[in-house]
Chain A
Amino acid sequence: MYAQMVKSTGSSVKTREEMSPEEARFQARVDAGEKIEPKDWMPEGYRKNLIRQIGQHAHSEIVGQLPEGNWITRAPTLSRKAILLAKVQDEAGHGLYLYCAAETLGVTRDELFDALHEGRMKYSSIFNYPTLTWADIGAVGWLVDGAAIMNQVPLQRCSYGPYSRAMIRICKEESFHQRQGFDIMMKMASGTEAQRAMAQDALNRFWYPSLMMFGPSDANSVHSAQSMAWKIKMNSNDELRQKFVDLTVPQAEYLELTVPDENLSWNEEKGGYDFSEPDWDEFFEVLRGNGPCNKERLGARVKAWEDGAWVREGLVANAQKKQRMAAE
């Protein structure tokens, strides 16, 4: 998802007997649906895991601005441009909410930035794909934000208070993102032959990368089991992927576009679609840094941070000067 392949620190989920009294009390609070707050006692693994997960989520929001930012200057109308600008600004806001949530766990935002810039922390694989046409901006809103919503809605109920509250804010704004994307797709799909072809091409290219966002099957993963016991992961990857496909296929039909999967068919018995798995080798290659845009994305991110240094320094110098003048 926005946080993919987050490794937990524990080897397996502890039984009640193996837990220290503090851990048992903590788990009981989580099981009872109580929110854990920053100053509460928490297992070190919970803290570390959450920093990785929230950090990765925050990085995804920030890096996610780049593929869409690519089209702000090229949007087809002034109205579309203003909407896209607002959407990309929201993504910056979402990143900031999440960095703040991570900071309550005892890490600083600058430490998280360093980890991203040095490649020690990841962001979602999806943002390493290029946005080649205007229809891609539609597909990103419709599919990528759609997949993100699938994951973020249940996370509103996660056990960590600051993360849960950030998710609530984000979900409120996310629906705008998905609808503006679908609106672009509707326009393109009902347009000229060339526009329809562009819409179909965007769906073809973004379908499998969107399915990859949920991560590989984690049915037997101890990391996922621990995260689920701690309620910082609410559903299995397969469960969310299935839900996404079931919701999205009828929307593609509405657009009269074809989902690029020959094996796609309705399975009456399970009450959902059967569909092809994405190419997981490709997914792991992208995570390793070998996707179509990994270098470009991280490069742009590092450049923005370095080029902005003088602004941050100037702001601090100005604040210090004003303080000195007030003291004199």
Chain B
Amino acid sequence: MKELNDNQIGAVKDLIFRMADDELILGHRNSEWTALGPILEEDIAFSSMAQDKLGQAHAMYQILHKLGEADPDTIAFTRDEKDFKCCHLVEFPIGEYDFSLMRHFLFDSAEALRFEMLMGSSYDDLANVAKKFKGEIKYHIMHADTWLVQLGNANEISKARMQSSLNECFPLALGIFEPSDFEETLIKDNIFPGEKRLQEEWLKFISPVITSAGLILPDINNCEPAFGGRKGYHTEYLKPLLDEMTEVYDIDPGAEW
């Protein structure tokens, strides 16, 4: 469908804000590896993935603009912290390389599945960008899987680091799937099959990779999912990131580049 009713507009906007804010913030975090990667190829990989994420965020903010929100730059650079709907996982500082790699694996796996689901969305604009993003994120998955398996099986130190990052990232990653107030509309109107379904698919998708990396998935029943981000409650790390991200914009918001 091309036109949405009011209820659907609310649901679609909420979904897109969550997705696009995740991409913007993680894109910014990934870019912090530029010139700092452990090897040149990884420096380039994280920078390139950052570029993809910012591009995808921009394309999604553009849909919001069509639905009556401000233009992409205004949405990205002028909102208060509480208006962001990103999950906590993407807000954390890059930490050591193992943390960034594990976050990238867990997040991008969920995102790839989300795009795959959205390819069949009844809302055309969302289905179209999902078809586009699916081809791009394939390379992110390939990258994450390769390194996860390699480092999980390399030596005791790398294995221990990867396991400890997995233990730290897993409850944060469960926060990706914090249900929205619009789940019913999204599912009923075939816009998106819902966060619960996505989480189930995600667990099926990541489990075999974690096993081939020789790692152990934490028991989901003993994990407290890091909820709150989708409702505007963020970690202490988001505000400083937003301040840094908007530092130049704030000097002259109307500037032409």
Q: Does B bind A?
A: no
> Which residues on B are within 8 Å of A, measured CB to CB?
none
> Which residues on A are within 8 Å of B, measured CB to CB?
none
